[in-house]
Chain A
């Protein structure tokens, strides 16, 4: 596909033509991003920020082949009322998608945004990504801004009655998709964005989210279950006064997943919660990299990441809370924990706090350990079979992350999927 190979050319110094037909308004942003990328170069294993995760397969010219997984489960949230937007290997599928019109929201596709009134998107597309390049470089995000082939531009002007569900299907073994979404939640807006599915053999996705004063943004994502899929995703968010941002990601397997979340709290009394539950059984690698900047007074941020790993799975967590001078009354919480179900699995964590204000409460903790044998015995002594007892404990462990999902309905379905996932492993 265009994006990745174009990037390789970019690296070689031979700038390729940027994707056309996507609105002249975006060309400047794309050009700037391409220049940024050229300047910073692709991520490399020796970069401090990629210490635990090898980006080679994410930057290679060709996407590695990923067999299409025979998913025997019904589509996620199938029975719930949602506006569905379907991308197959990164290509918009109009037939499978809902009509994009709904009250209190304008949805436009990036690929044909040229004629639309998207002045708001001009102020967002590539803007938060560019801001997010300091203090740490995120070349894959710059590449995305430059070369994304499609995505959604979503402008939320009020409370949206049902979730917008981005369904990412994977059918082509060698697909290489780049999508870029911009979500602007204006004053008084309230929206839930859901993303689900493996997306492509290799998926580079960027989402920029502007949450205005008093607005609310909810995000629930399920990255599943294809074993060989690779993904590098970025979520950039900027929060206004008294706004709220909640993002939860469930990750099943996948040979390589790097999810970066970069949040700036710029208005007083805002709250940002990022949570994730990842389960890996086999040679899989999940990396959650979070960077939260407190730049306003009395804001709250919460990071809750839980991973259950077995049979050689690797979990990575890099989480930072930066409290700028003047960001008093900051309440920052960060926890990352892994449950290692055997000795072959590993969890690598780098929690960081950097604080320049004096009146703040920040805490962070990271643990990894095996299942609690005493608890397991206690349950079994009451007649609960070993496998069921282990499942109970594993789900309990993931509970704190799942609790970050505000909608009970969504949480319940994800919990069911997790339960099924673990039961399958116990035959």
Chain B
């Protein structure tokens, strides 16, 4: 599904290399987790994959279903099935959450040559998804993320994911800032979406999320590279011992 090879990324503004050769392959239907110290490049990877400005790919490649995505506009990547749940969801005053989602859903459908969703169907669909994530109707009417609590923003990201039904979902610290119950809801939301044709890349600092969303593979990222990959036990090791031993291993 997602194939990243030797990805090197620099900041456009300053001469600073952030990703220094990332190799990662997420198969269809799989869940991979990425853990790693602060500043190791996890969010950068997620931004580069989704097409944010300001980064320059100096080497390597990234493909989604064997199609190169690095030359695509962000909206094309989205239409191709890529989704990023932001570590810091953006507030957009003046744009209603509902309007935003409907515009997004229909833009993607249009890009894929599908019919737009009728207003009625959309409403039914969003109500159902919102309910399962414990998002009340009031929140749907408010401007995107404006005045939302940290946890509400994260749940709103998952709602968008549920509505857009992407095939490659990247979750950047979606668990941070969630209370225990919200984390369960989010995990359930993710699990409900798990299917053969859909893959997840879950960036997290905590083992706890991975108790709910069982990963197939856990990667450790440090200083712009994947330094170790393994099974769920790797996450436990990090939880218990931190990164010192792992970093020492590769040093």
Contact = CB atoms under 8 A, between A and B. Distances in A.
Interface in B129-163: 143-144, 160
A326 interface: no
A57 B72 CA distance: 49
A21 to B, nearest CB: 51
Contacts of B78: 380-383
The 7 closest A-B pairs by CB, nearest first: A396-B94, A383-B78, A383-B108, A382-B104, A380-B74, A378-B90, A399-B94
A375 B100 contact: no
Interface in A369-388: 372-375, 377-386, 388
B143 to A, nearest CB: 8
A381 B90 CA distance: 11
A375 B92 contact: yes
B33 to A, nearest CB: 21
Interface stretch (B49-57, B181-189, B206-214): B49-57
Size bracket of the B interface: 20 to 34
Contacts of A382: 78, 100-101, 104, 108, 160, 164
A193 interface: no
Interface string B85-101: 01001111111000111
B45 interface: no
Given A380-B74, A381-B74, A382-B160, A393 B95 contact: yes
B95 A380 contact: no
Nearest to A399: B94
B73 A383 contact: no
A386 B107 CA distance: 11
A300 B129 CA distance: 43
Interface string A377-411: 11111111110110011011101100000000000
Given A383-B75, A383-B108, A377 B53 contact: yes
Interface string A220-246: 000000000000000000000000000
A395 B94 contact: yes
12 contacts: A374-B90, A375-B90, A377-B53, A377-B90, A378-B86, A378-B89, A378-B90, A380-B78, A393-B95, A396-B92, A396-B93, A399-B94
A386 B92 contact: no
A383 B100 contact: no
Contacts of A379: 92, 95, 100, 104
B95 A386 contact: no
Contacts of B101: 382
B104 A384 contact: yes
A381 B50 contact: yes
Nearest to A391: B103
B111 interface: yes
B79 interface: yes
A395 B94 CA distance: 8
B92 to A, nearest CB: 5
Contacts of A397: 94
Nearest to B88: A374
Interface in B105-129: 105, 107-108, 111
A373 B54 CA distance: 11
Among B73, B75, B86, the one with the most A-chain Cβ atoms within 10 Å of its Cβ is: B75
Contacts of A378: 86, 89-90, 92, 144
A378 to B, nearest CB: 4
B16 to A, nearest CB: 19
B84 interface: yes
Contacts of A377: 51-53, 74, 90
A393 B84 CA distance: 20
Contacts of B111: 383, 385
